[in-house]
Amino acid sequence: NFLRSRVDAWIDRVSLARSAYETLRANANGENENAPKKRLQAIGAELKHAQEDLTAFFDECEACLIVGTYLASEHASCADYLVFALAHGLARSKICGKDLLEKRPGLCRWLSTISASCGTVKSAFGVDEAYLSSTLGSLEGGKDWCVEAPKPPAKPKKEQQKGKKKDKKDKKGGQSNFASLAALISVSAAQADDEPAADKKPAADKKPAGDKKPAGKEKPAAAAAGGAKAEEEEDPVKKAKKDRKKAEKEAKKAKMLAKKAKREAEEAAKKAKGASGGKSKKEKKAEEAAAKKRKQLEEEETTLRFLDSQPKGSKKKIDEVKIQSYSPRIVEHSWYAWWEKEGFFTANNKHTKGKTFTIVIPPPNVTGTLHLGHALTDSIEDTIVRWKRMSGYEALWVPGTDHAGIATQTVVEKKLMREKGLTRHDLGREKFLEEVHAFARDKKSTILNQIRRLGSSVDWTRERFTMDDDLQLAVKEAFCRMFDKGLIYRDARLVNWCCHLNTALSDIEVDHIDLPGRTMLSVPGHDDQVEFGCITSFAYPLEDGSGEIVVATTRIETMLGDTAVAVHPKDPRYTHLHGKFLKHPVNGRRIPIIADAILVDMEFGTGAVKITPAHDPNDFATGQRHNLEFINVFDDNGLLNGNGTGQFEGMKRFVARTKIVEFLQEKGLFRGKADNEMRLGLCSRSKDVIEPMLKPQWWVNCKEMGADAVNVVRNGELKIVPKDYEKTWFFWMENIRDWCISRQLWWGHRIPAFYVQVEGDEEGGIPGRNSEKKDRWVVGRTEEEAMANAKAKFPGKEIKLIQDEDVLDTWFSSGLFPFSSFKWPRETDDLKAFFPTQLLETGHDILFFWVARMVMMSRCLMGVLPFKEVFLHAMVRDAHGRKMSKSLGNVIDPLDVIRGITLEGLHKTLMGGNLDPKEVEKAKEGQTQDYPEGIEECGTDALRFALVAYTSQGRDVNLDVKRVVGYRHWCNKLFNALRYAMMNLGEAYVAPDEIRPQDLSLSCKWILSRLNQAIASTVKAMDEYQFTQATTAIYAFWQYDLCDVFIELVKPVMASGSDAEKKATRDTLWACLEVGLRLLHPFMPFLTEELWQRLPKNADYAKEFPSITIAPYPKCAEEFVDQSLVDRMAYSGVVVNKIRSLRATYGLVSNKQQPDVFLLCEPESKAKLDGLESYVATLSVSGSVRCVTDAKEIPEGCGVAPVDAAVVAYVVLTGLVDPEGEIKRLEMKLKECEAGRQKLEKRMSLPEYAKTPDKFKAEDNEKIANFKSEEANLAQAVDGFRAMLAKPKEQKQQQAEKGGKPEPKPSKEEAAPEPKAAESEEAPRPRAESSGFLKVGEKMVMKGDVKKKSTGFFSFTSQARTLVLTDAPRLLYMEGTETRGEFGRVLSCTMKSDSALVIKSDQKERIIETPEAKAWTEAIAKHYKL
């Protein structure tokens, strides 16, 4: 069918277009000049139509491929093969350009899929060979469709120049769709327009055929004649200029061709080398890296096999697990099972700690798996629980899962339909519930495994499920107690009905969208979109025929249930109609005209309002006031029932909407339609349009409970963090309405209410229908209890009980979770010990759904608040700030971040769900855009730390997985820091019993001060739930204080310190690591346990605390905090950064280059730095650091930079940089500084400056002083470099004054070999000039401009540099007059080509490009005796 309807038609169109194409091509090439103009135009039109048909067909294919993988079925078929052959022929022959695929991603994907399986498809489906060969032959045979587009007629010179840019742009962007066809049509049309008239020269005057230019190159005759004339009259000067340009162009072209040939030759040589077994350096490096990675993975797998072989729950054998780098898989292995087996997370209800901390998990729904939002919740809660447990609390975290009534039943129903083609009604209630229980068990197992992988320290002995027997008992008890108190009642009221799910919803389960006017929306169960945002006016005729009343509605279908029309009692337009009746045009119902001042606004519309009491909340209240009839016109599925619906009975409600309008138009009662701004309610689960329906349901009276919930927050009994959400709390609770708790589902807690049927009573009504009698309902925890209550209510009568088919709202059972988890209503030890809880942590999106219900029900049933504090975390969004959505492909399983996953693996996670094919493709595109390489393995610790670090109160979390990867690298840094510490501590190290501040060096005192400050900051932040501040404090200590500073300061002590200094330093390092790991543990449980177990500890300490999980959380020891020292070290850090900046400025990138540093200080600043000079030298990679107060003590030739107004850093640069270059740079900087000062002084001299506030005047004066200070420092530095330049001249002058006697020559042993010019013609002569980059007595041997091809140790870009060879021997890279780097020991120097050489040193290999490659190679080889 697909081939007949589409492909055959396409082939026919292409075949018809072939002859037209050939005719136009021939005409464009001058081969068909006699063709009439009309014929050419007709052929062009045919070809244009063919082009449009081809475009339409590609669009049609794209539409098919967006929905499915293949064109005509779920699998590849002959249709796919044939269409591929046709499309491939067009694309190959360049009729269809590159943008064909760019605009059609589905077609692009399909082409790549089919191209790999053409042979398989052909053989599998037995494509007819004759049909196939004719099809392919018509498109790909011979030269058909394979010609290039001819050039259009010549344009004037100006137009040609204008067109050059456009041509370049076109070439850059690639040929557009059907470029050949379009060009041919335009050329032919142009030629047809220029067809010679009768009075013009005949065709015989043209050149003979043999003189014609090649096809496609000849211009029209008129253009050729014009060109000849222009050539004759052309100016000789212009002609010479044109010839010169032409020659230059030809030379440029020849050069380009030569380059291309050379490049091709080099590539051929590379290929030949590769074929013979040789490999490039890059390939070797890649292979080495891959081999190293393979080896590492093999070692990891061996270690994992060893760990897997150990008994489950046994403690990891640290001594036998040898790993060289951080591996999340190995580090996180075994610990959780050991923690669980040892009972570290199990709380004791008979504890003697005196304080408890209890928290219940927000039970995740068993509809699927956890996502990153759940991971955020668990990470925050586990961080709090572990911190409290380590801080001495008996901590209990209760885990659990929620049955999620509507959501789970919906998922299982879809699954049944998809897999078995059955509905729940086909199975029956009991069988269906068995299916749901099996589904829930499977999902629950997955969820609990995810919670374990996240490291959550929950008490698994107290794990709960909201459908457990204990919790079912609690639900029945709560319902019966609240019924007895009169808080739960039965009533027929308007409910939010979802026709798609066939159930009622509470107000907060309804989403609302605002429509500005007419809007078309898709509605579940309807094929076509439905119109909303319109108001329809129609007329009701008066019963006596004397007139009509016009009313308007946005839901015209509800007019079938109208039972009145209301007008304002004071509206003079309708006073005479009070008490009269209208006639319904569909069912003839008498409709009274009533007066109602509450509902009707005289100024709005016609002042008349139709009343539908059974389908509108406002009309419902009006119907109660006027005792109107309540007529429901819809059934549970949204179809029109038989209650006065006439000919529309059985129609879908929104189909009836359009049919009723047509009916009113036929009757002459339609009065128009207009845009109307409105708010539309949608089911939060199914997105179906909510239909207000009159249904008997169970309700909870929330008025008093809501007022109580407001009071407990206002008086401070209940604290909500962040405080901003108190406004939301007050708004919801002060405007709370009664809560509908009935749900027309099978999965959930069945309502313990029973309808009493009295024998012989025919008017008893039907439960669940509007005919039921409210007084017939009784409740009971068991059927026996309900029967006893019924007999007491109806004594002496034969009765029968029918239990309510409905179940309770999921949030009813969830609202009991804080105490039902402890087996309430029984008085258990757990209930006494752990209720009420201390904290409720959850997302702000369920503040009213869950938090408010728990507060109301706990206060009602237990008399106390369920918790003292509520912490609301933000929503997790993706890196672009979008809400997590499966259809966007940004819902990520936390295990995929922990373990890592490929892009293909991410795509597979979209399969088997409830997404339709279009959403799957959209989600795949989103995943490809965000995770083109998949997700790297990050580990649990990195994910947890990233999530908690992101948690800033009141802000959403825009989670970028790249940041998680960054924390994974940070974990590796911590791992390496401990490895370094263990090497320095030594195997025989014994942990100290105590550390005394007086025994420590300044660096040790400082790091312990910073450690205790980090502890104080972290504890304070945790108390206030400021998790971002807590993670920042911990990260700063480990990263910036311990790793970046203290460990660097440890190295010189370990290398050359005394035994006492080494002992004190080791003890301090051990203390920082041991305490720092305990500080970090709540955030990163696995890594800290692994590293803490590897640290040496005293036997008693290790016995008392076998795991870091139960070790004490650090407390700030004030005696170790020295704020003065911390300030001094912070100031020294500023100095270090300035010196490092100076080093970078002068290109001192190697740690081997360690210049001396002088700090010119004011007395106060010198006092700050006293005793810290060695630390500054170590951290700034300086030879030495001296603080001086007199500038005369500073040598000449220094780089200078002010640290602040009181300290200036001088780096001695003699022998390291070029003085001339530095003088130029400093003088430029000096001019900038002077210009800045003069500009400020000019502004200060203006008359209006006197009005400036004193505060800003003081700031400006300070700026002037800083400018002057910096100018003085720069001037001094310039003088120093000038003095450096002047020294060699003074020495020469002194030598001349002494008689010109030369300096004594060094001995042969001291002298460096120096090549002589006489030894070789090509050997360079020594240069006489000297420069600041040369050492004292050092001479330049060779100098020349070169280009460094490969980036290397010096990280240069590929631009011109200077290579300098000296007699030291030294080989330098220069940029201008500045040294940018120095080669190490030169090992070899060989020519790569006539214009390139390769220098191999002990550091790296360089490729140098220079025309003097041969001279350089020989000079370096001779100089270094290679």
pLDDT in tens, 482-522: 999 999 999 988 899 999 888 888 887 888 999 999 999 99
Please count the helices (runs of H) and the strands (runs of E) in the chain. Answer: 46, 40
The type of residue at 465 is F
Instruction: Answer whether residue 747 shows pLDDT above 50.
Output: yes
More confident residue, 869 or 1226: 869
The type of residue at 1001 is S
DSSP string for residues in 1004-1038: HHHHHHHHHHHHHHHHHHHHTT-HHHHHHHHHHII
pLDDT value for 20: 57
- Confidence category of residue 96, pLDDT binned at 50, 70, 90: low
More confident residue, 48 or 803: 803
pLDDT tens across 870-896, in order? 999 888 777 777 676 655 667 788 999
Per the CB < 8 A criterion, the answer to whether 896 and 927 are in contact is: no
Would you call 432 helix, strand, or coil by DSSP?
Answer: helix
Would you call 696 helix, strand, or coil by DSSP?
Answer: strand
More confident residue, 86 or 1118: 1118
d(CA 1371, CA 1385): 9
The type of residue at 1264 is I
Helix (H) or strand (E) holding 304: helix 281-309
Residues in Cβ contact with 299 at an 8 Å cutoff, skipping those fewer than 6 apart: 323, 324
In 3D space, the residue among 584, 588, 606, 616 whose CA is nearest the CA of residue 671 turns out to be 606
Instruction: Answer whether residue 1266 shows pLDDT above 50.
Output: yes
pLDDT value for 103: 61
More confident residue, 949 or 322: 949
When pLDDT is averaged across residues 1213-1227 and rounded to a whole number, the result is: 79
pLDDT value for 222: 39
Question: Strands 957-958, 876-877: parallel, antiparallel or unpaired by DSSP?
Answer: parallel
The two three-digit tokens of residue 481, written as one number: 């107690």
Per the CB < 8 A criterion, the answer to whether 1372 and 1382 are in contact is: yes
d(CA 347, CA 352): 11
Conformation bin of residue 800: beta by default, left when phi > 0, alpha when psi is -120 to 50: beta
pLDDT tens across 327-360, in order? 999 999 999 999 999 999 999 998 877 899 999 9
∠ CA 503-506-510 to the nearest 5 degrees? 90
d(CA 147, CA 31): 15
Per the CB < 8 A criterion, the answer to whether 397 and 361 are in contact is: yes
The two three-digit tokens of residue 516, written as one number: 């500005």
When pLDDT is averaged across residues 1001-1006 and rounded to a whole number, the result is: 94
Percent of the chain at pLDDT > 70 equals 77
More confident residue, 157 or 428: 428
Q: What 8-state DSSP symbol labels residue 1044?
A: I
How confident is the prediction for the chain on average, in pLDDT? Answer: 80
d(CA 1043, CA 1230): 38
More confident residue, 76 or 1196: 1196
pLDDT value for 1031: 94
Instruction: Answer whether residue 1331 shows pLDDT above 70.
Output: no
- Confidence category of residue 689, pLDDT binned at 50, 70, 90: very high
Residue found under tokens 């809560």: 739
What is the distance in angstroms between the CA of the first residue and the CA of the last residue of the chain?
79
When pLDDT is averaged across residues 1317-1326 and rounded to a whole number, the result is: 33
Burial class (CB in 10 A: 0-12, 13-18, 19+), 560: buried
Instruction: Answer whether residue 1207 shows pLDDT above 70.
Output: yes
Residues in Cβ contact with 851 at an 8 Å cutoff, skipping those fewer than 6 apart: 840, 842, 870
- Confidence category of residue 198, pLDDT binned at 50, 70, 90: very low
pLDDT value for 924: 84
Per the CB < 8 A criterion, the answer to whether 398 and 462 are in contact is: yes
More confident residue, 798 or 215: 798
When pLDDT is averaged across residues 582-595 and rounded to a whole number, the result is: 94
d(CA 195, CA 36): 9
pLDDT tens across 1073-1122, in order? 999 999 999 999 999 999 999 999 988 999 999 999 999 999 999 999 99
d(CA 1351, CA 1369): 24
pLDDT value for 790: 93
